Each structure stands twice: as C-alpha cells, then as structure tokens.
Amino acid sequence: MSDEEFAGYAQEFAGTVYRVAFHTCKNAADSEDVLQDVLLKLYQEKTVFESREHVRRWLIRVAVNQSRKLLRSAWFRRSAPLEDCAALLEEASPEEGGVFQAVMDLPQKYRTPLYLYYYEGYAVREVAQLCGLKESTVSTRLQRARQKLKEILEEGS
Amino acid sequence: MEFYPDVYKRACSKLNAPPDAVKEAIRMTEQKRRPRKAVRNLLVTAAILALAVLAAVGASAAPGGSVFTHVTAFMRSPQQLPETQGKKCLVRMQNGMGDETEFLAERVEYLPESNMLKVWLNTPDGDIMWLGLSLDESCRQYGSYEEMRRQEGAATGVGPDGTQYEVQLK
C-alpha cells in the first residue's frame, strides 16, 4: 500500500475505527491508542484489498480485536477512567446526548453490535462476522440491548 | 422515552476521531516510524512472544490434545523462534488482525529450508507426534482462528513411526 493510499484510508475510516473503539473502551484516550494501533496495522498489512468496503471491514474487525485486547488487560481494568461520554459529542442536542449516554451505559457486549447494526448499517450476519460471534448471539444481544435501552431511557425521563 | 435509532445515528456522527491523532499516525508512517504508543506495544508483544517461546513450562501443565495448527502461518517472524531442547514450551501467536492463540508444545523446531515449524505434541493417549506447520501465506485467507477452524476442521499430524493422526482443531 502506498503512503498516499494509506493516508486516504486513514482519513476516510479514522472516524469509524475510533467509534468502534469508543464503544468498547468508553474513553477517548484508549480509543485514540486503538485508532493509532489499527492504522499502523493497516500500514503494515500486506493483504491486497479488493475494495474500499474490504478495507473498511478489515479495519472494523481489527478495531474490535484491538479494543477487546485492551479491555482484557489488567492495566485497563485498574485504570479505565469514567467519562461523561456524551460530553465528547460535538454540538449534540440534549436528546442525542441522552441516547448516546444510554448506549454507553449498556454492558460492553451490547454496545459494539448495536453500533455496527444501527450506525454502520451492517446486517446481523455481517455484524456477527465482524465481531466473531454467532448470528443468533448478535440477534439476542441486539434485542436485549433495545430492551435495556428502553429501561434506561425511561428511568432517565 | 423510546430508543430512536435516528437520534443515536445523529449522536454517533458527532463522535469523531481527533484530527491530531490521525495526522500523527499518517506522519509517523510516512517517516517509516510507528507512533510512540504503538512502538511500545510492538516491543511488549515481541518480548512476550520471545519469553513465551523460551520459557519452560512446568510439567504440571498438560498439553492435552489442544492443537492450534496453521495459526503459526499468521506469525510474523517465525525465524526468531529458537529450537527447544526437551522442554515444553508455550507458543503464543498473533495474526495480523489481532487474534491470539496459544498452545503447549513438547518441542518446537524451525526448518528454514521448507519454512516450516515442526511442533512436537502429546496426543491424548500419551503418544508423541509432530505437526509440520507451513509458515507460508496460504492461511492468511482466514480472518481469524475461528474462521480457519470452521473451514479446516482438522489437521494431520505424523508420529515418529510415520503413523498419521487426524487432530481436531479446538
């Protein structure tokens, strides 16, 4: 991959990678670290990508793995900062901030499938592939995530 | 209050990667250098891999029949693997997508002429067998160990007397 190609992909998909990481790590600093690690892996990757979508899926998959790895580390478990996640949104309305914070209040295992399904627009089968889960597991998690979100948002209102 | 996906999508679109972080990553790769954090991680990974291979594992750690074959094809620097001499060793590997796996081997030997890793293992019934793990690019088609396991299902190992074993990938 040439430097120009890499720079183009980095600019185009940095937001996606960062958001995937944020949905796992729930804090900006670790998400930035994941972003840099993932971009570096892309730079070093020798796979010949067939399309931009291929690159996007590859990046998401690696971001999911890198974020999980960080989450498993003892360092992260001891030191993960608690942040007001909604405050990191740029010029968000109170409604948007409330919904985003509600998603961030979900258990970690629900957040990434929810993001890939609703924001990135992947089908359940694709979310399952990207997260390394069974389709039935993804379906169940999405269903439970919606239930829990309803409860969280009702409590909030 | 309901969960409205459109509101969530609008909110997510306002969460963006810090431009400085992206610029730094691009700048570092243009200079053929990694970001500082990434360098740290690489060094740690390299150290873990070296230690994992070199460290003798206690006799109480039974290898059972768990064979993670082919995964070595994902390994980045097999040439750095030293031979082990009669001691069990823990081999830990990472593919290019961050998936990790590890297994216990009785002995590991790298065969540079064929670019293969020869791994001796105990079978569940106590016999010794070895697996020749090709370290070429052929297994990079798999996105993860799980994907490879689904498609490959089993690997073939060879005992010292030439007997072939079929080993289920776990």
Query: Is A7 in Cβ contact with B5 (below 8 Å)?
Result: no
Q: What is the pLDDT of residues A11-24, one digit of tens each?
A: 999 999 999 999 99
Amino acid at the residue B126: G
- Reported pTM: 0.59
| Tokens read off for B133 | 């793990």
CA distance B38 to B14: 26
Q: In chain A, which stretches have pLDDT less than 50?
A: 77-80
* E strands in chain B: 89-94, 100-105, 107-111, 116-122, 128-134, 154-158, 164-168
What is residue B135's predicted lDDT score, i.e. its pLDDT?
55
Query: Is B144 in Cβ contact with A157 (below 8 Å)?
Result: no
Q: What is the pLDDT of residues B108-119, one digit of tens each?
A: 666 667 666 676
Write b or e for each residue in A122-137: b if 16 or more Cβ atoms lie within 10 A of its Cβ, otherwise e: bebebbbbbbbbeeeb
Query: Is A146 in Cβ contact with B25 (below 8 Å)?
Result: no
What is residue B113's predicted lDDT score, i.e. its pLDDT?
72
Q: Report the Cα B89 to chain-centroid distance in Å.
A: 15
Q: What is the pLDDT of residues B74-97, one digit of tens each?
A: 333 333 344 444 455 665 555 455
Closest partner residue to A37 (CB to CB) among B9, B29, B38 is B38
